Amino acid sequence: MDKFSNRFCFNLVNKKEKEKYKTCAQELDDMVLSNSSLPQSALVITDASIKHDIATSILHVHIANYPLTKTVHHASFVISTEAELFAIRCGINQACSINSVSKIIVIADSIHAAKKNFNSESHPYQLHSAAILSKLRRFFNSNLNNSIEFWECPSHLKLGLHLNVDKDSKSFHPTPSYPSKIS
């Protein structure tokens, strides 16, 4: 992380300044418009929800105005932060595997989790950290211009791409494998 710190960017929303939400929404829209048509930029939009102790992690990857992949994962008895980090990890893995991509843009409503993930201090999600940083190290070493940006998109901003992923994550009704474990 320290070696490539100039290639990371975190764009956070200040939740205490509600009057800036409109400005934040406009910045997100502008960023999506300027990057969505570029073949070297991958937009990774993630979200997660939990119903009946089953987490649904969902991500969409878009390149050059084209929805490339949609991935859905279900896991039992995990917390929302872990589900969000897993979705971010999968999105970064998919984006890094595309040779033409030099810029990854992750849009999620829990950027605080992602930012914490890149903290070098000890934390409970180090497994995700190690996997993501290993993939990103190869991505950064492959080209000096490669970069990654994280954009926070709270659900209430209703950004088009994130709104679709948010709806998808909440629309799944997985059946628990062990219904007797549901409280």
Three-class SS state of 116: helix
Structural domain of 34: 7-172
Q: For residue 160, what pLDDT is reported?
A: 64
Q: Alpha-carbon distance 11 to 107, whole Å? A: 10
Within a domain: residue 46? Answer: yes
Burial group, residue 44, by CB count within 10 angstroms (0-12, 13-18, 19+): buried
pLDDT at 177: 57
Q: In CATH, what number is assigned to the domain containing residue 44? A: 3.30.420.10
**What would the pLDDT profile of 39-95 be if each residue is shown by its tens digit?**
899 999 888 777 777 887 778 888 887 777 777 777 887 877 788 888 888 889 999
Give pTM, 2 decimals.
0.80
- Determine the pLDDT at residue 146: 94
Using the structure block, give the residue that is written with the tokens 């605080």.
112
Domain count, the chain: 1
Q: How many CB atoms lie within 10 A of CB 34?
A: 10
Say if 180 falls within a structural domain. Answer: no
pLDDT digits (tens, 9 = 90+) for 109-159: 877 767 766 666 666 667 777 788 888 899 999 999 999 999 887 766 666
CB 100 within 8 A of CB 66: no
Q: Which residues of 57-93 are buried (b: 16+ CB within 10 A; e: fewer)?
A: bbbbbbbeeeeeeeeeebbeebeebbbbbbbbbbbbb
Query: Residue 149: inside a domain, yes or no?
Result: yes
